[in-house]
């Protein structure tokens, strides 16, 4: 099902009545931005000189924040979003640069890579009411 956009009169996929989900051209730009962020994370990682096997070994670490949902959707969304938005990996990168600590730099670079690829695949910032509802789309079943 598609709905007509009131300003551009173009159609965009329906989001099952969920408000706050980006569609259309802004979604395309946010996905392109995600690709750029992922590329930046890879470029920063390449500059560390660390072994490339660290990327697959650490790539899913931000997803461990999912366990915060065991404390409820509000706390879960807050912790998950902290691990899946730019401030945390950027802080790790700054700390790594400031303290000349390659482990922190690697963590920040892999965090940016993870964040960028999530955005590219339409996994966005979570709302408090449902794990599957993000600003970039609805995934799975939601309330």
Domain for residue 10, yes or no?
no
Q: Is residue 74 part of a domain?
A: yes
CB 130 within 8 A of CB 77: no
Choice between 12 and 86, residue whose per-residue pLDDT is larger: 86
Global confidence as pTM:
0.84
Q: Are 93 and 115 in contact (CB under 8 A)?
A: no
97 lies in some domain = yes
Whether 8 maps to a domain, the answer reads no
Give the model confidence (pLDDT) of 63-114 as tens digits. 999 999 999 999 999 999 999 999 999 999 999 999 999 999 999 999 999 9
Mean pLDDT for the chain overall: 88
Count of structural domains within the chain: 1
């Amino acid at each position: 099902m598609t709905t007509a956009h009131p300003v551009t009169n173009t159609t965009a996929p329906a989001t099952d009545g969920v408000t706050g989900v980006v569609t259309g051209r802004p979604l395309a730009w946010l996905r392109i931005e995600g690709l750029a962020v992922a590329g930046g994370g890879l470029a920063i990682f390449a500059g560390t000189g660390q072994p490339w096997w660290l990327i697959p070994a650490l790539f899913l670490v931000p997803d461990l924040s999912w366990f915060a949902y065991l404390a409820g959707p509000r706390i879960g969304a807050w912790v998950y979003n902290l691990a899946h938005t730019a401030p945390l990996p950027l802080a790790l990168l700054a700390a790594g640069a400031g303290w000349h600590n390659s482990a922190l730099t690697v963590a920040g670079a892999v965090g940016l890579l993870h964040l960028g690829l999530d955005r590219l695949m339409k996994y966005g910032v979570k709302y408090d009411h449902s794990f599957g509802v993000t600003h970039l789309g609805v995934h799975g079943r939601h309330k």
